Every structure is written in C-alpha cells, then in structure tokens.
Amino acid sequence: MTKKEKINFIIENLNKLYPNIPVPLNHQDEYTLLIAVLLSAQSTDKRVNEITPILFSKASSPKEMIRLSTDEIRKIIKPIGLSPSKSLAIHKLSNILIEKYNGRVPRTFEELEELPGVGHKTAAVVMSQGFGFQTFPVDTHIHRLMYRWGLSSGKNVKITERDAKRLFPKNNWNNLHLQIIYYGREYSPARGWSKEKDFITMKVGRKSFLKKMT
C-alpha cells in the first residue's frame, strides 16, 4: 500500500467512524478553551471537564480570574495535577490578556505562545478549536498512531506534526486531529493493543510494529 493509499484509507474510515466530532474539552469561548487546554497538560480531558465547571462558575473571564488569588485557583484545580504552576500561569496570563489584549485571546501562534503556560500544542488547539484555523495539534494519541501507521518516525512530536501536515490535506487538519484522538482512545490505546480491534493499523501499519505486536 502506497502512502497516498494509506492516507485515503485512513481519512475514509475515520470519516465513517466519526462524521461529527465533538471538541473533547468543554468550554464557553476562546478564553475558557485556553484555560481548559492549559489545564489538560499531563491530565485527562475527563478530569479537566470535571473541574472546569467549578472554576468557571467563579471565573469565566480574565477580569473575574484575576479577582481570585493564585491560592484560590490552585485549590480548585488541585485534582488535575501540577496545580501550583498551572494556577500561577492562569493568573499571569489573565493579567496579560487584560493589559495587552483588552481581555481578548490573541489570534496568532506567536502571541499565544508568549503567554505563561502556553506551549505550541496549546496554542495550536486554541487556533484550531477556538478560531477555526487549520492546524494539526499533536497529542500522545496522534504521536502514537502516526508511528504505528508508518507515517512518521516517532522521534518527537515536532517531527510528527511536520509529517502530518505534509501528508494530510490541509482542509482536513482540524477534523483529522480530533478523529485520530478519538480513534486512538477507542481502538488503538498505548497499552492493551488488540490487532482485531485496531483495523486501521492492521491495514496500513508499519511492519516492524505489527511484527512485534503479533
């Protein structure tokens, strides 16, 4: 199977499985999305979605957030993990949004990545899911599946993102990155991989991985 055939097979089957893709993190606008994505670092979407309603009931805008102390924020988000650094980042970036952007979330990678606690992946998610730009945020599921499918080397997420953007049509990026995440969770987990369940990998996957797993 050529790479072009692989890509077509993946897109066709992901569209069948996930024709309508919900955004994993619950949010109300670009600001609450930014906070939710920041909180999701080294945590699960499920856990974040359990905590953000509590946080956003107290503060769902930069002005409301800076009225809370970092300790108050930390206590609310403590179950998510890394609460000391995340609470400080949330408070600082909320101040910056007020002082520099009139309380609005900026719409460029450069401006987003200058905010405390916001890395490239967080910025890419906000650009994609918040503003509708075609980006390809790479999380652990996408990184894993791009390797298993023989589409990237698996060396690091920067290379994986580069390969994903090179191989998949740009107008599909926003849908595809979410579809791959859902597929990874449901059919191709990091542990307990099943060749019977993970039909896409069995069809297009790299030979070394399949040989090791079968």
Could you say which of 2.40.50.70, 3.40.50.720, 1.10.1670.10, 3.40.50.11400 is the CATH number of the domain covering 3-21+136-213? 1.10.1670.10
User: Per-domain residue ranges for the chain?
Assistant: 3-21+136-213, 30-130
Q: What is the pLDDT along the chain (214 residues), one digit of tens a residue?
A: 889 999 999 999 999 999 998 889 999 999 999 999 999 998 999 999 999 999 999 999 999 999 999 999 999 999 998 999 999 999 999 999 999 999 999 999 999 999 999 999 999 999 999 999 999 999 999 999 999 999 999 899 999 999 999 999 999 999 999 999 999 999 999 998 888 899 999 999 988 888 777 6
DSSP string, 76-126: HHGGGS-HHHHHHHHHHHHHHHHHHHTTPPPSSHHHHHTSTT--HHHHHHI
Q: In residues, how long is the chain?
A: 214
Q: According to the model, what pLDDT value does residue 214 have?
A: 64
Provide the residue type at 48 as one letter. Answer: V
Does an H or E element contain 64, and which? helix 62-67
Q: According to the model, what pLDDT value does residue 175 have?
A: 94
Instruction: Report the top-level CATH class of 30-130.
Output: mainly alpha
CA distance 182 to 184: 5
CA distance 146 to 176: 12
Q: According to the model, what pLDDT value does residue 213 have?
A: 73
pTM: predicted TM-score of the whole model, two decimal places: 0.90
Q: According to the model, what pLDDT value does residue 211 have?
A: 79
Q: ∠4-126-173 over CA atoms, to 5°? A: 10
Distances, alpha carbon 18 to alpha carbons 10, 36, 133, 163, in Å: 12, 23, 20, 22
